[in-house]
């Protein structure tokens, strides 16, 4: 979502304010740092980055801080780092072309409604288009700062989404990547209340895949709670939907899931994952896991490991719990000691690396359909198969933007090497 927000920022500044992109921060007239605040670490990194840019930038170059840390810290950023000219929150991207000319300005209103805002056009990739389908999040998981930085959830009207898809296809994109904090809750609330519940995410998937020229559709992030049977069945049957599903587990313990306010149990998650593997044998299931949440015992962590063994996720993004301001969990007792959380994280990651080696090895000699989108420096070209394996082959530019069948000859842990057949 931050990548897409950055694209919107560039689009607005290049079409409305005469800026152009540069690769060198030393030559820039404006440096924008787009930030995350989900965990503590990126927040502290922000201030060291500001310091670094401030030393090397042109004397009169401006620095702007955007994104979730901007929303969360607001004016405090300028107080702590007076080199910063403006602060623009994650829900205020549309105001970039106004704020850029003001000095010491702060725009972080999380009630600002950007759901009807049609941004100017800029995309980093001409092969794949990120398209927002909603803003904000209503879930209020007890560990998560996002509802506080991105505000309440509002779905973007269907006509705006479909127009963006058509525009992307006309520019040559074969793959559409739908984005939202909670994509499969689409349609629950629009700015215009008459639109509420007129269609859901599954309907949206069918409409997007029906557009001529769309060959692949991906999306992130869905919430396990909203994975009803119809959604999983359409996901399985529709050949244009890539067979890659992110299922953020967070914890395998029903007790911890409850205190995280995730809305599902260990059994529900396992049931959904099992149904998905049955309906779509080649599906890639990825997940997010937090270890060391308050009150997580060895037994709770064992529940998480049990789900990992059972589901055999193709990819896991795992984190140590990081207490965040404005969240209810910050008050929770029974804090897990740092060393225990670290040990659990290491154990989880080691176990998964071994699993990944087995998963990759199973791909040997398979024929995968790969969409090539990235030229690598070593004479290789990379793409993804529909279930999301990264595949590289020897090749040059003429393969970019093409979908080809590839035989896997050397499956490595994160990348599969193959030959075009």
Positions that interact with ligand 5AD (CB under 6 A): 38-39, 143-144, 248, 250, 288, 290, 319, 321-322, 324
CB of 313 to ligand 5AD, least distance (A): 13
185 near ligand SF4 (CB under 6 A)? no
CB of 183 to ligand SF4, least distance (A): 10
CB of 147 to ligand 5AD, least distance (A): 11
Buried b (16+ CB within 10 A) or exposed e, 98-117: bbbeeeebbbbebebebbee
Check if the beta carbon of residue 157 is closer than 8 Å to that of residue 192: yes
User: What are 396's strand-pairing partners?
Assistant: none
CA distance 134 to 86: 26
141 near ligand SF4 (CB under 6 A)? yes
CA distance 358 to 324: 36
Nearer to ligand SF4, 188 or 382 (CB): 188
* DSSP 8-state class, residue 241: B
CA 393 to chain centre: 26
Check if the beta carbon of residue 219 is closer than 8 Å to that of residue 181: no
Nearer to ligand SF4, 140 or 347 (CB): 140
User: In 241-337, where does DSSP find H-type helix?
Assistant: 254-260, 266-279, 298-311
Q: State the binding partner of 319 from ligand SF4, ligand 5AD, none, CB within 5 to 8 A by kind.
A: ligand 5AD
| Stretch of residues binding ligand SF4 (CB under 6 A), selected from 20-28, 141-149, 164-172, 388-396 | 141-149
CB of 37 to ligand SF4, least distance (A): 11
String of contacts with ligand SF4 for each residue 201-240, x by CB under 6 A: ----------------------x-----------------
Nearer to ligand 5AD, 47 or 319 (CB): 319
Check if the beta carbon of residue 334 is closer than 8 Å to that of residue 376: no
Q: In terms of Cα–Cα distance, which of 214, 92, 194 is closest to 204?
A: 214
Q: State the binding partner of 322 from ligand 5AD, ligand SF4, none, CB within 5 to 8 A by kind.
A: ligand 5AD
CA distance 87 to 102: 10
- Looking at 61, 93, 146, 205, which residue binds ligand SF4 (CB under 6 A)? 146
CB of 203 to ligand 5AD, least distance (A): 25
CA distance 193 to 188: 10
37 near ligand SF4 (CB under 6 A)? no
- Looking at 31, 50, 90, 137, which residue binds ligand SF4 (CB under 6 A)? 137
Number of H helices, E strands in the chain: 13, 17
144 near ligand SF4 (CB under 6 A)? yes
Check if the beta carbon of residue 112 is closer than 8 Å to that of residue 92: yes
136 near ligand SF4 (CB under 6 A)? no
Chain contacts with ligand SF4 (rule: CB under 6 A):
137, 139-141, 144, 146-147, 181-182, 223
């Amino acid at each position: 979502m931050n990548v897409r927000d950055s694209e919107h920022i560039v689009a607005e500044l290049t079409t409305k304010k005469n800026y152009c992109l540069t690769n060198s921060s030393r030559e820039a007239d404006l440096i924008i740092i787009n930030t995350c605040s989900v965990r503590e670490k990126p927040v502290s990194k922000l201030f060291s980055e500001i310091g670094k840019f401030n030393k090397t930038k042109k004397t009169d170059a401006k620095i702007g801080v955007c994104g979730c840390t901007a929303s969360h810290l607001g004016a405090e950023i300028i107080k702590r780092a007076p080199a910063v000219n403006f602060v623009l929150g994650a829900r205020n991207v549309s105001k970039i072309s106004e704020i850029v000319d003001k000095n010491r300005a702060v725009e972080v209103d999380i009630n600002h409604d950007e759901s009807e805002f049609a941004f100017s056009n800029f995309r980093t990739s001409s092969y794949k288009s990120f398209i927002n389908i909603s803003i904000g999040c209503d879930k209020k998981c007890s560990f998560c700062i996002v509802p506080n930085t991105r505000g309440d959830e509002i779905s973007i009207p269907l006509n705006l989404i479909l127009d963006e898809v058509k525009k992307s296809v006309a520019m040559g994109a074969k793959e559409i990547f739908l984005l939202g904090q909670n994509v499969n809750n689409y349609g629950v609330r629009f700015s215009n209340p008459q639109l509420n519940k007129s269609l859901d995410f599954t309907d949206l998937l069918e409409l997007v895949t029906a557009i001529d020229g769309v060959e692949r559709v991906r999306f992130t992030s869905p919430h396990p709670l909203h994975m009803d049977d119809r959604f999983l069945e359409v996901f399985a049957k529709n050949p244009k939907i890539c067979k890659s599903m992110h299922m953020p587990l967070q914890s395998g313990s029903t007790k911890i899931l409850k205190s995280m306010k995730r809305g599902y149990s260990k059994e529900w998650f396992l049931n959904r994952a099992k149904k998905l593997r049955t309906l779509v044998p080649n599906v890639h299931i990825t997940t997010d896991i937090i270890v060391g949440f308050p009150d997580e015992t060895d037994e709770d962590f064992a529940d998480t490991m049990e789900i990992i063994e059972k589901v055999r996720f193709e990819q896991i993004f795992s984190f140590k719990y990081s207490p965040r301001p404005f969240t209810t969990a910050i008050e929770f007792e029974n804090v897990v000691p740092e060393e225990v959380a670290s040990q659990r994280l290491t154990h989880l990651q080691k176990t998964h690396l071994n699993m990944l080696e087995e998963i990759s090895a199973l791909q040997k000699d398979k024929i995968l359909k790969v969409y090539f989108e990235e030229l690598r420096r070593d004479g290789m070209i990379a793409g993804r198969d529909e279930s999301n394996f990264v595949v590289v082959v020897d090749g040059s530019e003429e393969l970019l933007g093409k979908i080809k069948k590839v035989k896997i000859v050397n499956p490595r842990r994160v990348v599969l090497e193959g030959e075009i057949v």
